[in-house]
Amino acid sequence: MSWNFGSPSSASRPKALSEARFVKPRSQQWLYIYSVRVRQIDLLVVVFAVLLAQLVRFGDHFTAPVGRAHWPAIVVSAGLACLWYGALRAVQSADRRVLGSGPTEYSRVWMASFVTFGGLAIFDQLFNLSIARGFLAVAFPAGTFVLLASRWGMRRYLTSLRKTRRYLERVLIMGGVESAKPLIDRLESTPALGYEVVGLCVPVERRRGPEMLQSRGREIPVFGDFSDARTAVALSGATTVAVTSAEVLGHSAMRELSWDLEGMDVEMLVSPGVTDVAGPRMMVRPVAGLPLLHIDRPRYEGANKFLKSAFDRSVTALLLLMLGPVLFACAIAVKVTSPGPVFYRGMRVGLNNEAFRMWKFRSMVQNADKLRGELAGLNQGSGVLFKIRDDPRVTPVGRFMRRYSLDELPQLFNVMSGQMSLVGPRPPLPEEVENYDRVVTRRMLVRPGVTGLWQVSGRSDLSWEESVRLDLSYVENWSIMQDVLILWRTANAVMGKEGAY
């Protein structure tokens, strides 16, 4: 079967096509400019870090001999800067597909820096040149930190513009309403992702459906069926076409559509039909001329488990040293302001459904658990969660600690004992776990976390369904870089105080 992507006759055009005016196609020029700016800032940071290392070690003697080869310092610095910047380009750290969202951008910056200086150190040791130590001590940490900070700053700026509906990719979705609706709702609820849905093309057999699709207060026009794709792109000014019903469109039509879009400065995305699976677990493998999406199984054992455990304990030990005075002050405040113990040790369920006692500073009156039944009518939590915004059991000091998540700091001791992780799903109560279905029980495949995606995405304001989705997304796609980003975002969420009660 072959599809015709030409303009349909006026008699068969739906209302959205016949009444709409042609919108001048918007190119992705802003994205190209943003990518160029990122590369320019990378170059400035690399030059700055290398010159800083040279000044720290050699002062302003740019021609000072370096190492056993007695190369001028400025030559060594220039060579290192070229290698470093070349590595950033080689790993495609400024690829338009990874800029602005997700941990991949940061991972590539870190990888380029690590490979550059790791290779330099190995080369230095093999040939006994004695040129790398000063640069490793100064340029590597300083430059990598500033590179990551600059990417974060540019992303914050881009996100602020996207929240005002600027610098968004205009997306035309091709697929049935059932397959397109989840994607539309996700993109409309999170403009920081950088996409704005501007229209929908449906399969031929469903063409007589509604002319407008409602999504979060917005009306998404339906631009006819799949044969109206080219016209719909021109009418909507779309810069991206997202296909959510590839099996209905067919292989030949998909190929023809991709050819047609090449000349319109429009990118094509294809939804694989799976949710909350991303990153290195996904790989396209061509088989007999057909691209097949290969999805690896989540890996929670072996080297990954050891790496996460080492990361948790090393960072936790550092946090305990830094936050020791804060822990001491909170303990005194709890003790002198209300009768009862300093700590609350509630029962929680962790890895493989094993129960453990989680440490927290007591933020409620003594025996608060026994009063829960009397307050059941005030429960504002969704699903199996029990939450009350103005819980009368919370003490004044406890309310302050909850606002800044200070009551959760003793959970660092649970991390050191191996019962919890720094980042992971929310630690559930035993009675919550009893009501879990098969899908939700996948949260128990990893240790619960002191913080997690639920913490940086709304905290107590999230619905039960959204909390579960975020936890499952973390379980399916764990990585060290994602943990680092969540810890960074946790500090912002705690200071912002949103959803904390």
Where does the chain hold its CATH 3.40.50.720 domain(s)? Answer: 15-27+164-295
Q: How confident is the model at residue 49 (pLDDT cuts 50, 70, 90)?
A: very high
pLDDT of residue 73 exceeding 80, the answer is no
Residue 17 vs residue 99, higher pLDDT? 99
- pLDDT for the residue 294: 63
- pLDDT for the residue 178: 79
- pLDDT for the residue 389: 67
Q: What is the mean pLDDT of the chain?
A: 79
- pLDDT for the residue 343: 92
- pLDDT for the residue 423: 92
Q: How confident is the model at residue 18 (pLDDT cuts 50, 70, 90)?
A: very low
Spatial contact of 451 and 457, defined as CB atoms under 8 Å apart: no
Long-range Cβ contacts of 75-82 (<8 Å, 24+ apart): 76/131, 76/135, 77/50, 77/51, 77/53, 80/50, 80/116, 80/120, 80/135, 80/139, 81/46, 81/47, 81/50
pLDDT tens-digit series, residues 245-284: 776 677 777 777 777 777 777 888 887 766 556 555 666 6
Residue 66 vs residue 270, higher pLDDT? 270
Fold of 15-27+164-295: Rossmann fold (3.40.50)
- pLDDT for the residue 150: 94
- Burial code of 64-102, b = ≥16 C-beta within 10 A, e = fewer? bebbeeebebbebbeebbebbbebbeebebbeeebbbbb
Residue 331 vs residue 207, higher pLDDT? 331
Phi, psi at 219, each rounded to 5°: -100, 120
- pLDDT for the residue 8: 40
Q: Which of 47-61, 100-114, 193-207 has the lowest mean pLDDT?
A: 193-207
- pLDDT for the residue 6: 37
pLDDT tens-digit series, residues 413-456: 999 999 999 999 888 888 888 878 777 777 788 899 999 887 78
pLDDT of residue 156 exceeding 80, the answer is yes
What is the DSSP track for 126-138? HHT---SHHHHHH
- pLDDT for the residue 348: 92
With a pLDDT cut of 90, the percent of the chain lying above it is: 22
| pTM over 0.75, yes/no | no
Interval 360-374 mean pLDDT: 76
Spatial contact of 363 and 333, defined as CB atoms under 8 Å apart: no
pLDDT tens-digit series, residues 385-397: 656 666 778 888 9
Distance CA 9, CA 334 (A): 75
- pLDDT for the residue 228: 76
- pLDDT for the residue 459: 59
pLDDT of residue 499 exceeding 60, the answer is no
